[in-house]
Structure 1
Amino acid sequence: MNLQRLYDMQRELDAKIELQHELKKEDLVDEKILALLVELGELANETRCFKFWSVKPPAERAVILEEYVDGVHFILSLGLTFGYDGSETSRGLAEEAASLTEQFNRVYQLVSTFKDNLFEENYFLLLDSYTQLGEMLGFEWAEVEQAYLEKNQINHERQQQGY
């Protein structure tokens, strides 16, 4: 899976946001990490994988994919912040969890690990684990990429509209 196109698009969106909101000199790492955690929670909520007390089914696949892609945006943005923008994600660093809930917990833990130790290896471990989460959700990379392109366009439009 080649991420270079997505990194390039994210770089452009980040630059637009920073310019429009006069954030060029701001350190946004904590904000991006919190945003990623929030998006991860929204994704988990849509899958309902942890809601053992409920019989309500998960959200539609398209809704789950959109939430997943929101997380991709923030992971790419964090990578760009530190220059960790390698074009290939799969480094074989992460092991797949036994269940979807366990994988969500693993990704949460890796976000925290990355926040505490902003090392390249921790970033790519997070990226690999998030990619595995997408695979466990049943997404093919081509559809993730297409959904990213669509959401990126929406995000550009939102910035033009003063979102």
Structure 2
Amino acid sequence: MDLKQLFETQRKLDERIVEEKGLQGKDLLAEKYLALRTELGELANEWRGFKFWSEDQKPRTKGSWVCYTGVENGDFINLYENPLLEEYVDCLHFLLSIGNEYHFSVYTALKPTGLDYTILHQFNQLFNHVESVKNCMSMGVLGSYEMLFNGFLNLGRLLGFTDEQIEQAYYDKNKTNHERQYNGY
């Protein structure tokens, strides 16, 4: 996974949103942290494994075929929706955006931990890490962001996603996010 390119791609989207929404000079970090927490909750909801009260605890990995017109070149794009992967990359967008806010640049240190965590444990750890990063980054500690990012990548692996699937889904969603800007989202 080309993390440097992912951070750069996210930076361009963020810059476009700030420009088109007239948000120059506004500190959006609190909104980004809340968005990341919200998306992590939506991801957990699609995973469903924590729902001990439900008979249906299978992850939502199959959606439906969607077809939309590409704004830039007018062609049709067919995607098979995977709600779990889509929510995962929604989280990734905000995680990258937060990293860009702190000029995060340690792209190669992000490797699987090899620890035998459960998905439930990893979700709980990520929620804790988000708060830790929020508190530590004001003091300039990038190690906490690395831990969060590593934990997030490990969650993706635990959910069964390959780096290639994550990267492709990110770019697909990024294109959708740009198209939304064209349409006044």
Give your verdict on TM over 0.5.
Answer: yes
Task: Map 1:4-43 to 2 at 5 A.
Answer: 4-43=4-43
Select the structure with the greater relative contact order (CA < 8 A; seq sep ≥ 6). Answer: 1
Q: Aligned residue for 2:102?
A: 82
Distance 1:71 1:96, change over 3 A: farther
| Bigger Rg over Cα | 2
Task: Tell me whether 1:107 sits opposite 2:108 in the alignment.
Answer: no
Distance 1:95 1:36, change over 3 A: farther
Distance 1:20 1:72, change over 3 A: same
TM-score relative to the length of structure 2:
0.83
Distance 1:89 1:35, change over 3 A: farther
TM-score relative to the length of structure 1:
0.94
Q: Which has the higher helix share?
A: 1
Q: Aligned residue for 1:44?
A: 44
Contact 1:39 1:67 in 2 (8 A): yes
* Secondary structure of 2:184 counterpart: coil
Contact 1:96 1:103 in 2 (8 A): no
Q: Which has the higher strand share?
A: 2
Q: 5+ unaligned residues in a row in structure 2: which ranges?
A: 63-81
Q: Distance in 1 between matches of 2:147 and 2:49?
A: 23
1:8 is displaced (CA, Å) by: 1.2
Q: Aligned residue for 1:156?
A: 178
The superposition leaves residues 18-54 of structure 1 with CA deviations (integer Å, 9 ceiling, x where unpaired) of 0011112011111000000000000000000100111
